[in-house]
Structure 1
Amino acid sequence: MTARPSRYSAVAIALHWLIAIAIVTMIPMGWWMSDAIAEPSNQALAYRVFQIHKSIGFLILALTALRILWRLTHPVPALPGRMKGWEQFAARATHAAFYGLMLALPLTGWVYVSTGWAVTTDTPLAVATSWFGLFSIPHLPWIEHASDAVRRTTAWMAMGAHSKLAWGAIVLIVLHVGAALKHQFLDRDGVLSHMIPALPHGEEAGAAEPGAATRWAERLAGLALVAVIGVAFGLAARPAPKTTETAAASAPAPVAVDAAVAPGTAAAWTVDRAASSIEFSGTHAGNAFKGRFEQWEAQVWFDPADLAGSKAVVTVRTSTAKTGDATQEGSLTGAEWFDPETYPTARFEAASFKALGGNRYEATGTLRIKTATVPVILPFTFDEANGTAAVAGRLELDRTALNLGMTSDAGGDWVSKAIRVEIKVKATRAG
């Protein structure tokens, strides 16, 4: 028979306190952000807190899985022998309930964010999930790709269960802390020293190891508590059906590969990609953001003396949009934004040029993103010296006309409708 230790191992102690601190910080965070997200003045901070909340939730899930594995493979200290049978049963059942909660809380949160539905506004809100901005965490595909009605119902049920499980965690924490203090100051049996090595541990012989049937009964009792709370309150949180149904959009056909571009008659230019950029900017949750496209190609024929023969075609890989915020970048590649899996490129073609005086010009053309094609006018400056040209231009786009983010944010409550695009190009005359 394996000897029972007098204290938990260093790994078990570290996991216990890491998870405990994470859970304690998550509860007030969840309360605050749920209300703050509806206030415009708090929206930017609430958005950040939501991302931190999700990241800590996935950290708790990973640490809990590791802790369960460690618990199953390492013996734990015995309970004091003078504890009554029902007290030992309650202690082990409470521990089992804690394990269940530590799994159920992040899992219901994962289900909720995968729905892409905000219960605070009862509207779609597709936001990607990244772990502390380091890497993306995929949403559960069987939920993410379900119909609006299924995602909405699932969101309300998941959030209902999630919030009530949080209350269950508060109850268990109070019971757990109260029991630990009772053992330390009333019973003086050294139980608290199992998790706090600095405290002296009691010398009383441990309780006898419970039988297999008892152990399973204790575990099931704890897990049943979690299941009852989660299912009961989750079902109670189901929303009333809407009076109108959202029509399902048919899946668009993939974009065809662009045909070869007919060249203009003006001088051809070779773009120096390393010295050129296509950037975009706007506001998100009340804060300014700025991004860029890392992969794009440009074919340019331009001559101030031959504006009629001038032409420019720019093809952008929309999957390469970068803002420095992993959550924003993950959202931009979603189906309601750029959807690069279906539409890998955006295309700007300028076929008409106009001189505005001095080094200022204006290009008129079209911009295609996904299935939307809109007319655009791009004012720009052109300066040439020794066969090298510098071009700078900017324009403002209405993302609503391009069908970007229209499911979650048609009103511009989160992301500004107006998006500024700025180009800087360095090029040399070809040949």
Structure 2
Amino acid sequence: MSSSSPASRYTAVAIALHWAMAFLLLFMIWLGWNMDDNEVRYQLHKSVGITLLFLTVARIAWRLLNPPPPLPDDMKPYERQLSHFVQIVFYAMMVIIPLAGWLLVSISPFQISTVLFGTVDWPHLPFTSGLRQGNELLHGIVENIHSKGAWVIIVLLGLHVAGAVKHEIGSEDGVLKRMVPGLFGKTSPPSPPARGALVAFGSSIILFAIIAAFPLIGSGGASAPAAPAGAESAQGNWAVDYAQSEIRFTGIYDGKEFSGVFTKWNADVAFYPEDLAASSVAVTVETASASTGTKLYDSTLREGEWFSTAAFPAATVALTDFQSTGPDAYSATATMTLKGKEVSAPLAFTLTMEGDVADLSGSAVFSRKALDLGQVSDAGGSWVSDEITVSVSGKATRIN
């Protein structure tokens, strides 16, 4: 007697999830083998992995609320047991592998941010910051689970496909027609009514939203930058036009120039062309305001490996020792304090004045190594140049 009946058909949602996840899984495996030294593919690999993790959560919930149709009556007992075993291990691996990848990124000393599809900042797993240094054994174990787990998935895929094909062309009723929409036309049994969509997908979406909100919550709680040392005594006599001024940083990344700006900063300027010895400038920069135009870079710059904005929300720059070097040309010593490191570099700038309005343009070169920036992931400057140029330009009006 045939077991094909309305109850033997998977729901339309289960079918859609099955094929969407199958495609993403195959794509994920391909990315894993073809992403070395490719930043875009590496980020896409992480994005697809997190997507698969939450689709798996939704699919498990859907399966509990909408039990799958029974296997064909004439399947042998060992075949039934093997089928159930493959499904259980498959679901387990679909959870374990993405979690292992998430943990691997979280404990990596390189601290490269995860930005899902170039849009959503994805946090590291909590309580992993202390595992990023001196844990090569743990890193190796997690890396093996993640990479070798892909081969387990491939074997399971092979068993799954072989079993489906075998039962489709064998004497049994077949299972393939239950999962391929419209393939068999009128002979394909209809899908049964579905239930629990709000629970299955709502819970997964809510969980995703809560985790994705962690970086926003963290950034919202950051304290305001402290005033730079010496700001209280600067007695500023110039008002900076922040709308027409900027602080920019420039370097070389992967053989190409990159650049960014700090969008939040303030300066107390006391500059007297006729009395340079009495001049001083104190600048405070909110490090989390670094903007390069690429969300991945902005997020990575906030990590502990770079600006460590959670621990050091502000950097300061003090300009002293002003000298005249020519008509409208000056030099000064720029002392930057960042992540507890104090580094000085010469700053050359021009100042063109028309009445009480001045146009400024200048730059100084700082070493990443001296400021402890990127010294775990790229101490030798293979990817990011050690020398970073910090330039300032803009307008200011003399107020007294």
Shorter-chain TM-score bucket reads 0.7 to 0.9
**Per-residue CA shift, 1:126-153, capped at 9, x if unaligned?**
212221222222212333313623x321
Measured in 2, the distance between the counterparts of 1:285 and 1:11 equals 44
**Per-residue CA shift, 1:147-204, capped at 9, x if unaligned?**
623x321110011111111001111111112222223334473421222111228979
SS of alignment partner, residue 106 of structure 1: helix
1:76 maps to 2:63:
no
Aligned residue pairs total: 361
Measured in 2, the distance between the counterparts of 1:298 and 1:307 equals 18
Residue 257 of structure 1, CA deviation: 5.8
SS of alignment partner, residue 306 of structure 2: coil
The answer (yes or no) to whether the contact 2:234–2:282 under 8 Å persists in 1 is: no
1:178 maps to 2:162:
yes
The answer (yes or no) to whether the contact 1:4–1:76 under 8 Å persists in 2 is: no
Q: How much identity, in percent, do the aligned residues show? A: 40
Partner of 2:364: 395
The answer (yes or no) to whether the contact 2:348–2:362 under 8 Å persists in 1 is: yes
Partner of 2:311: 342
Where does the alignment leave 5 or more consecutive residues of structure 2 unmatched?
Answer: 190-224
Change (3 A) 1:291 1:5: farther
The answer (yes or no) to whether the contact 1:115–1:152 under 8 Å persists in 2 is: no
1:21 maps to 2:37:
no
Partner of 1:133: 118
Residue 53 of structure 1, CA deviation: 0.8
Measured in 2, the distance between the counterparts of 1:58 and 1:288 equals 31
Measured in 2, the distance between the counterparts of 1:290 and 1:262 equals 32
The answer (yes or no) to whether the contact 1:190–1:201 under 8 Å persists in 2 is: no
The answer (yes or no) to whether the contact 2:367–2:388 under 8 Å persists in 1 is: yes
Change (3 A) 1:159 1:262: closer
Partner of 1:191: 175
**Per-residue CA shift, 1:404-424, capped at 9, x if unaligned?**
122332212232211121212
**Per-residue CA shift, 1:83-105, capped at 9, x if unaligned?**
22221222222111111111111
**Per-residue CA shift, 1:221-254, capped at 9, x if unaligned?**
xxxxxxxxxxxxxxxxxxxxxxxxxxxxxxxxxx
Spell out the pairing of 1:37-56 with structure 2 (5 A cutoff): 43=37, 46-56=38-48
Residue 351 of structure 1, CA deviation: 1.6
Measured in 2, the distance between the counterparts of 1:81 and 1:203 equals 19
Measured in 1, the distance between the counterparts of 2:166 and 2:98 equals 30
Measured in 2, the distance between the counterparts of 1:264 and 1:80 equals 84
Spell out the pairing of 1:362-377 with structure 2 (5 A cutoff): 362-377=331-346
SS of alignment partner, residue 395 of structure 1: strand
Where does the alignment leave 5 or more consecutive residues of structure 1 unmatched?
Answer: 37-42, 117-123, 206-254
**Per-residue CA shift, 1:211-230, capped at 9, x if unaligned?**
xxxxxxxxxxxxxxxxxxxx
Measured in 2, the distance between the counterparts of 1:204 and 1:372 equals 70
Measured in 2, the distance between the counterparts of 1:299 and 1:349 equals 10
1:100 maps to 2:92:
yes
The answer (yes or no) to whether the contact 2:111–2:304 under 8 Å persists in 1 is: no
Measured in 1, the distance between the counterparts of 2:340 and 2:67 equals 61
The answer (yes or no) to whether the contact 1:26–1:53 under 8 Å persists in 2 is: yes
Change (3 A) 1:297 1:187: farther
Measured in 1, the distance between the counterparts of 2:64 and 2:303 equals 40
Spell out the pairing of 1:4-403 with structure 2 (5 A cutoff): 5-33=7-35, 36=36, 43=37, 46-116=38-108, 124-146=109-131, 148-149=133-134, 151-187=135-171, 189-200=173-184, 258=228, 261-263=231-233, 268-403=237-372
CA RMSD of superposed structures (Å): 2.5
Matched AA of 1:86: Y
